[in-house]
Structure 1
Amino acid sequence: MSMFVRRNVTAAAPAALVALALLTAGCAGGRPDPAAAKPGSATSAPEHGYVEGARETAEQQSRLLLNDPATGDIRVLDLITGKAHEVPPAKGTAELTTDGRFGYFHTAAGTRVLDAGAWTVDHGDHVHYYRAAIRDVGRIPAGTGARVRSDAVMTAVTGADGRAVTYRRTELEKGRVGASRTLPGTRAGAVVPYAGHLLGLTGDGQGAARLAVHDRAGGRSTAPHATCEDPMGDAVTRRGVVFGCADGALLVGDDDGRLTAERIPYDGDVPAEERARSFRHRAGSDTLTAPAGDRAVWVLDVAERTWTRVETGPVVAANTAGEGSALLVLETDGALHGYDVATGRRIARTEPLLAGEQRPATGGRGPVIEVDRSRAYVNDPEGRRVYEIDYNDGLRVARTFALDVKPELMAETGR
């Protein structure tokens, strides 16, 4: 008997999604697709990031990880089939993060790893989409406050004490955590795998942190000279890794195998309470968002090396698809607002989606905005639902998923 239970959710799926669901129904309910690993089949080729037991598909296979920390209830909402899969609970989750495939449920007792069974392999000029069974992978010792960052080869886990360990991605893909390797020293922020290296900021807390680079084995590598005062937040973009700093951002890129470092400063001094402290963006985008105090949002265009401060109403959550798309801001009135980044003008607004006055997520709990290539998703914990928003059509509510749990925590996989 499968340990994962499939539940129906109330949503009107477009015909195209229904058709695609029929093509992908073989792995519904967390059961392996017998055709997925068929020797010699077109979908079982070992190249292009294929993993045994997975099936390649024509479209992105997005799934939402949803958790109620109070009860521990977890659901994996398949956005293609419209089905919610029940998995063993994780009670007391302080934060839920993802690297695009694996979900990390951070608790005081450690971090539980869940393979959501949906991911994208990006080759730059083209991409491959895969789906497979949902399964538990195991537990990582680092718990509350740990930061997990991954690339195609390594997963780095930085504990709240600044100490970091790495795991082989192939082991996670096989359904086990595997052995870890400890990196020397401590970090003032997350260790980020990038371009065959492990990037981090080191310091004693008395001055600016320094950029440190290690190879995948943990050995020291040559690093460009760069510092970051009061490091806060990070993000991986197509143009490199962004670290938030007191004066703006530090961008670490790869120039034909040589690491580079470049500052992207704010246009003037910014009070500490209005600095960008955490980033959200669409996976693969070069446009980052971050709250700029209580009533504004920073938009960092990494390609143009520019910061834009957009005045909004009171901010609960923000995100954007980038590349000319609207800035999406969930405000305390419970409505989703769309702003033109260039002019700062509000161009769209939904009816209130969430009942009552909202507050920014505390410790990662509460409403957030997840964005993929065509849709945005907003979780409504008290209403026990998730809204799917077509951000290219005036913030139209495309689907509403009714749930049997309170989705206090949400993260999107398949990207």
Structure 2
Amino acid sequence: MALTLLTTGCADGRNTAGSAPPAGPPASATPHGYVEGAQEKAEQQSRLLLNDPRTGDTRVLDLITGERHEVSRTPGTTALTTDGRFGHLHGADGTRVLDTGAWTVDHGDHAHYYRAAIRDLGRLPGTSGGPEGAGTHVRGDAAVTAVTHADGRAGIHRRADLEAGDLGTPRPLPGTHAGAVVPYAEHLLTLTADAEGAPRAAVYDREGERVPVPDVRCEEPRGDAVTRRGAVFGCADGALLIRADDGTFTAEKIPYGTRVPEGERAADFRHRAGGDTLTAPAGERAVWVLDVTERTWTRVETGPAVAANTAGEGSPLLVLRPDGALHGYDIATGERVARTKPLLEDVPGTGPDATAPRPVLEVDRSRAYLNDPAGRRVYEIDYNDGLRVARTFDLDMEPALMVETGR
């Protein structure tokens, strides 16, 4: 196994997670999105950030080279999130930020791909509280990172500070917020309580000034996602979509169309970065698929679902079931179109181990990744080829938590 030990804060400035990158290009040749010390590549530089909450073992798996980079241990991690480059390890003692050194700058008609050294930035100031969703929310884009605390207060970090390895001092955002503050279209989208305490759509500019947006409620908000069509917030009666159109913000509801019991509402959205099709558990026996472009919900009766995701655009809905096999479903018909052999002998989060973190499915433009904690491995799945297992990455730790960066 290729294992590289990462040492942070070296005085000589060498990249200990790989060979030192060349000096940056001259100003006249600097590509869009370039960061000092980074290398621009011709393809997406995908990496997986992996953590075992029990032992604290943490690794960055480079999907291009196959190298496994060992980073500082973080025990007690309750959730792992990412903005595409920075990994956020949430725990009772705060949120640690790790620069995974891989990211994409998307300009719509073209994209730039970068790789750099892996760096541990330390813990975000003022963060504390258990799982992401009940404690600290962290969301980011190419310019800012928004940190929303358990009390609803939020602070905005300059992305340039994080890229330089400095967490910096956050600038407070006015008001209190229900759920995450989400950077989108050079603004900050959120839900703020009205006089009756009901969360409503709100938009701020980067200086913290309110921007006009239609007055739309989102009762009992939970879950959020950013797509090319706008930012989505989960609500009791469906979803709230906030989007920008020539500098003007709109807000509209995408209702379920029927009353959905609380335990079957979409609350944990998963999708391909840049995609417009979201998935979320619909209770224990089905999966919701939200087509943001068409503004439609589809409930796919999959049976018990442990994890789900999709690349959208005609790709199958991927579902890990308690049998340890990965199943593929046609979203339009609900028909199962593919199935693997059991890949996981022990599926965390089910049976007597119901409190353990459940495996996740990370999806990019051509592959899906499934973590197998008990088997100490990650599977790479070609979802366009009958769910073929393309590669298996063996590890020296249990990857109970996983996110993909470089996207």
Normalising by structure 2, report the TM-score. 0.92
Q: 1:130-169 to 2 correspondence within 5 Å?
A: 130-140=114-124, 141-143=126-128, 144=130, 145-169=135-159
Aligned residues: 390
Q: Which residue identity is paired with 2:285?
A: R
- Whether the 8 Å CA contact 1:224–1:261 is kept in 2: the answer is yes
Q: Which residue identity is paired with 1:5?
A: L
Q: 1:334-413 to 2 correspondence within 5 Å?
A: 334-356=324-346, 358-359=348-349, 365-413=357-405
Q: Which residue identity is paired with 1:50?
A: Y
Give deviations 1:19-53, integer Å, cap 9, x for gaps.
Answer: xxxxxxxx985245342x24439xx9434101111
- Separation in structure 2 between the aligned mates of residue 362 and residue 162 of structure 1, nearest angstrom: 29
Q: Which residue identity is paired with 1:402?
A: D
What is the Cα-based RMSD across aligned positions, in Å?
2.0
Give 1:185 shift: 1.8
Give deviations 1:117-137, integer Å, cap 9, x for gaps.
Answer: 000010000111111111112
Give deviations 1:363-385, integer Å, cap 9, x for gaps.
Answer: 88231000011100000111111
Is 142-151 or 216-225 further displaced after alignment? 216-225
Q: Identity of aligned pairs, percent?
A: 69
**Structure 1 residues 391 and 282, CA gap change in structure 2 (3 angstroms):** same
- Whether the 8 Å CA contact 2:223–2:234 is kept in 1: the answer is yes
**Structure 1 residues 400 and 123, CA gap change in structure 2 (3 angstroms):** same
Give 1:221 shift: 2.2
**Structure 1 residues 105 and 45, CA gap change in structure 2 (3 angstroms):** farther
User: Paired residue for 2:108, among 124, 131, 135?
Assistant: 124
Whether 2:213 is the aligned partner of 1:213: answer: no
Counterpart secondary structure, 1:59:
coil
Q: 1:273-352 to 2 correspondence within 5 Å?
A: 273-352=263-342
User: Paired residue for 1:63, among 30, 47, 55?
Assistant: 47
- Separation in structure 1 between the aligned mates of residue 331 and residue 359 of structure 2, nearest angstrom: 22
Give 1:409 shift: 0.6
Q: Which residue identity is paired with 1:137?
A: L
Counterpart secondary structure, 1:61:
coil
Give 1:233 shift: 0.5
Whether 2:26 is the aligned partner of 1:40: answer: yes
**Structure 1 residues 82 and 31, CA gap change in structure 2 (3 angstroms):** closer
Give 1:182 shift: 1.2
- Separation in structure 2 between the aligned mates of residue 282 and residue 74 of structure 1, nearest angstrom: 24
- Whether the 8 Å CA contact 1:95–1:363 is kept in 2: the answer is no
Q: 1:189-268 to 2 correspondence within 5 Å?
A: 189-203=179-193, 207-268=197-258
Counterpart secondary structure, 1:128:
strand
- Separation in structure 2 between the aligned mates of residue 386 and residue 47 of structure 1, nearest angstrom: 33
Counterpart secondary structure, 1:315:
coil
Give 1:270 shift: 1.1
Counterpart secondary structure, 1:175:
coil
Q: Which residue identity is paired with 2:17?
A: G
- Separation in structure 2 between the aligned mates of residue 276 and residue 341 of structure 1, nearest angstrom: 16
Who is 2:9 aligned against? none
Give 1:204 shift: 7.0
Whether 2:160 is the aligned partner of 1:174: answer: no
- Separation in structure 2 between the aligned mates of residue 245 and residue 205 of structure 1, nearest angstrom: 19
- Separation in structure 1 between the aligned mates of residue 272 and residue 332 of structure 2, nearest angstrom: 19
Counterpart secondary structure, 1:273:
helix
Q: Which residue identity is paired with 1:256?
A: D
Give 1:70 shift: 1.1
- Whether the 8 Å CA contact 2:317–2:330 is kept in 1: the answer is yes
Who is 2:33 aligned against? 49
- Whether the 8 Å CA contact 1:32–1:132 is kept in 2: the answer is no
Give 1:399 shift: 0.6
Structure 2 stretches of 5 or more lacking a match? 7-13
Counterpart secondary structure, 1:228:
coil
- Whether the 8 Å CA contact 1:331–1:358 is kept in 2: the answer is no
Who is 1:18 aligned against? none
Structure 1 stretches of 5 or more lacking a match? 7-26
Give 1:351 shift: 0.6
**Structure 1 residues 172 and 45, CA gap change in structure 2 (3 angstroms):** farther
**Structure 1 residues 207 and 186, CA gap change in structure 2 (3 angstroms):** closer
Q: 1:98-109 to 2 correspondence within 5 Å?
A: 98-109=82-93
- Whether the 8 Å CA contact 1:207–1:229 is kept in 2: the answer is no
- Whether the 8 Å CA contact 2:242–2:249 is kept in 1: the answer is yes
Q: Which residue identity is paired with 1:231?
A: P
Counterpart secondary structure, 2:162:
helix
- Separation in structure 2 between the aligned mates of residue 362 and residue 287 of structure 1, nearest angstrom: 28
- Separation in structure 2 between the aligned mates of residue 77 and residue 28 of structure 1, nearest angstrom: 16
Counterpart secondary structure, 1:136:
strand
